[in-house]
Amino acid sequence: MTVVYYPLIVHRASEGFIAAFPDIPGCTSTGATVMEAVRNAGDALTGRIRVSAGFYEEIPSPSLLDEVSGGPVGEEVARVLVPVEVD
């Protein structure tokens, strides 16, 4: 197994925070705090990678953290790299 790091962008939401992986459309999470949103996002990413691998779907390569767009979701509050194991 190889560990790769996917960029995650966290935005302030009306209640709490929302985190999204720009390289993995639809792979998002929420949390009452930034830390909770990031932790939940790690779980979401791991699950998404496992499901994709189980269906032999191609897993997108991660972008560089500084090259991803935050999108128009709201105020961006954090960018982090989230590790995940891939085959």
> Two tokens at 58?
């191609």
Task: Give me the amino acid identity at 11.
Answer: H
Do the beta carbons of residue 81 and residue 10 sit within 8 Å? no
Q: How confident is the model at residue 69 (pLDDT cuts 50, 70, 90)?
A: confident
Lookup result for tokens 């998404």: 48
Domain locations along the chain: 2-86
Three-state secondary structure call for residue 23? coil
Task: Please state, rounded to an integer, the average pLDDT across all residues of the chain.
Answer: 92
| pTM (2 d.p.) | 0.90
2-86 folds as Double Stranded RNA Binding Domain (3.30.160)
14-36 pLDDT tens trace: 999 999 999 999 999 999 999 99
Q: What are phi and psi of 48, to 5 degrees?
A: -65, -40
> Two tokens at 30?
């929420």
